[in-house]
Structure 1
């Protein structure tokens, strides 16, 4: 990588910006992004940020492995047919002593709406479509450490998945372990985002059953491994302190 041109893009994309980037706020808890117009089309720049209590530290990362890993995995699942936005590349801006400020680039979908926003606007949940997307990701062996419901988006072509930061592709004979991990993450996000009023516990349970059926898994055995659908006062306090409370 040439430090004068820190952008590392996949074939078919080059860093040819037409004017300055425009601030872009998806309104889904994802933070400020930037929209750029390139020769090959519009792209979204997502700066890498720190989460939790360390979010107050400068967003600098040692090396550029985090962005490289996301791009490699994103390209793999994209080529495997998982519904997602097209991966474009990343940028690594050196700040000294081996540290970088990192950004990730994807193709822009103008009609994309995050699942929480879709539900709050009265959109049809389409649990079947969401379950099929989740099952497809699990069949690929995708372990997504931050399966936030904001990472599920709706467009005119249906549901798709975003943001593969720190994700992995892991072997899992029947998908049971990955299914439990995915459903736990999604349940946690459902509570954290305050979606109980827009997507009832019964609907959330139906979704889990649909995912299991799509994967030919024993739904009862999977659901028994999920925590109770309760967010107590201590949990809410911890989420507030860590910057994760969204109600």
Structure 2
């Protein structure tokens, strides 16, 4: 156990809990039914596996790990268990904690859980603090100006300079609030050693985001998207120091 996590075992469920929530989180927090009317499905990009949850002084997002594509027809929620350290919810919890410590704009993790279905398979979920009054980039594409796109580009550059590889950088995983931009959903994300400007994973990230924007922009001729992307790249290519660097 590190200073930024507490591990609890509650029957078949194993949890990592942020110390700020150590006396509060229970295993039933990971079941949407427990929250009743205090759980509301995430309506943009949640794919039916994420809920806004709230209590008197809790405002968070509960997300279950679910597969996409053809493999989901065989096993939507079950994953192969190898070691506890490689459980997807635990890996994301720890990466978020690391990024919060680096000063990157991400939600703080509340807790992560997994439960063994059998010796070889598990299900998992994570709870993170809700970033209040934010909207997904996907919902704002047509209303942003060049300055907004520039700021989004600089934010993505922050993560790349810190060596953070987002596994699914799309316009639903970037949230905006006024002049701030945040990245969310770091399932399968990782801190990589190669943070050089020419690192191939960075181009893959940017290409994925561009494809996502193309799908949601509704820009038939592409002129508006081209201008927006140029402003984004100006922000991305503007040098900045690595957050949290010693």
TM-score normalised by the chain length of structure 2: 0.76
| Aligned counterpart in structure 2 of residue 193 of structure 1, from 216, 220, 229 | 216
**Aligned-pair distance for 1:195?**
4.8
**Aligned-pair distance for 1:24?**
2.7
Aligned mates of 1:117, 1:138 — CA distance in 2: 24
**Aligned-pair distance for 1:192?**
3.3
**Aligned-pair distance for 1:174?**
2.9
Runs of 4+ in structure 1 deviating by more than 6 angstroms, as ranges, are none
Provide Cα deviations, 1:12-69, integer angstroms capped at 9, x if missing partner.
113155x625443333222222233357622211110112221223311123521111
Q: SS at 1:164's partner residue?
A: coil
Q: How has the CA–CA distance of structure 1 residues 210 and 82 changed in structure 2, closer, same or farther, with 3 Å as cutoff?
A: same
Match of 2:107 in 1: 85
Q: How has the CA–CA distance of structure 1 residues 149 and 138 changed in structure 2, closer, same or farther, with 3 Å as cutoff?
A: same
Aligned mates of 1:11, 1:46 — CA distance in 2: 20
RMSD, aligned α-carbons: 2.7
| Aligned counterpart in structure 2 of residue 214 of structure 1, from 217, 222, 239 | 239
Match of 1:47 in 2: 64
Q: 5+ residue gaps in structure 1?
A: 217-247
Match of 1:167 in 2: 189
TM-score normalised by the chain length of structure 1: 0.76
Q: How has the CA–CA distance of structure 1 residues 61 and 91 changed in structure 2, closer, same or farther, with 3 Å as cutoff?
A: same
Q: SS at 1:104's partner residue?
A: strand
- Number of residue pairs the alignment of both structures matches: 215
Aligned mates of 1:45, 1:79 — CA distance in 2: 22
**1:45–1:103: 8 Å Cα contact kept in structure 2?**
yes
Match of 2:180 in 1: 158
Q: 5+ residue gaps in structure 2?
A: 1-7, 242-246
Aligned mates of 1:39, 1:8 — CA distance in 2: 22
Aligned mates of 2:140, 2:172 — CA distance in 1: 10
